[in-house]
Amino acid sequence: MCDHDHSQSVSQEEAEAAVRTLIRWAGDNPDREGLLDTPKRVTKSYRELFQGYHSDPREYLERTFEEVGGYDELVVLKDIRFVSHCEHHMLPVIGRAHVAYLPTNRVVGISKLARVVQGFGRRLQIQEKMTAEIANTIMDVLQPHGVGVVIEAEHSCMTMRGVNLPNSTLITSCLLGTVREDARTREEFMRLVRN
């Protein structure tokens, strides 16, 4: 469990009242037939979209496998689709994460890497912070020789409001250990995620 338990500080009724207030603020009537159940639906979807606050992504990496048969090359999981929300506008950030690590003497199930991405993504985020959180968590828990994380995402706060730039993509990276320090390993990682 994460160190914050937000569900205890605000009741379901308070959350639904806030949605009704926003509907009124936007200029509509929350008592209109089509909107009667909207507060309940919105809070239900927010519970799912922000479930990252109710888990600790580090826990996904705790079960490892030491029988690796001498494998000592990069482990790369590409194209992990995620949906996050910009902490500045609470609008969707939709993207793909590419995660790699150079194991020491143990590996983790690949679905766990995807769960780490989802765990940090299902929070209010900025992409730069999310990229670093994923990389640092993998480095801290697995203690590999190195970690590489690249995230490519489209930010709705840029594409559907403000500067209105559809199809613009933000790319961030965090390279740690050997993936950062060794030019050949870094180039191999970048080549693998580009293909």
SS3 178: helix
* 87 in catalytic set: yes
User: For position 151, what pLDDT does the model report?
Assistant: 98
Q: How far is CA 143 from its chain centroid?
A: 21
Catalytic hit among 133, 155, 174, 188: 155
Q: Where are the beta strands (DSSP E) in the chain?
A: 64-65, 75-86, 92-102, 107-108, 124-125, 146-155, 170-177
* Nearest-angstrom CA–CA distance, 195 and 107: 23
Per-residue pLDDT, 2: 47
- Of the residues 59, 89, 152, 154, which is catalytic? 89
pLDDT at 8: 65
Report the predicted TM-score, pTM, of the whole model to 2 decimal places: 0.90
pLDDT band at 1 (very low <50, low <70, confident <90, very high): very low
Q: Between 4 and 157, name the one with better pLDDT.
A: 157
Answer yes or no: 54 catalytic.
no
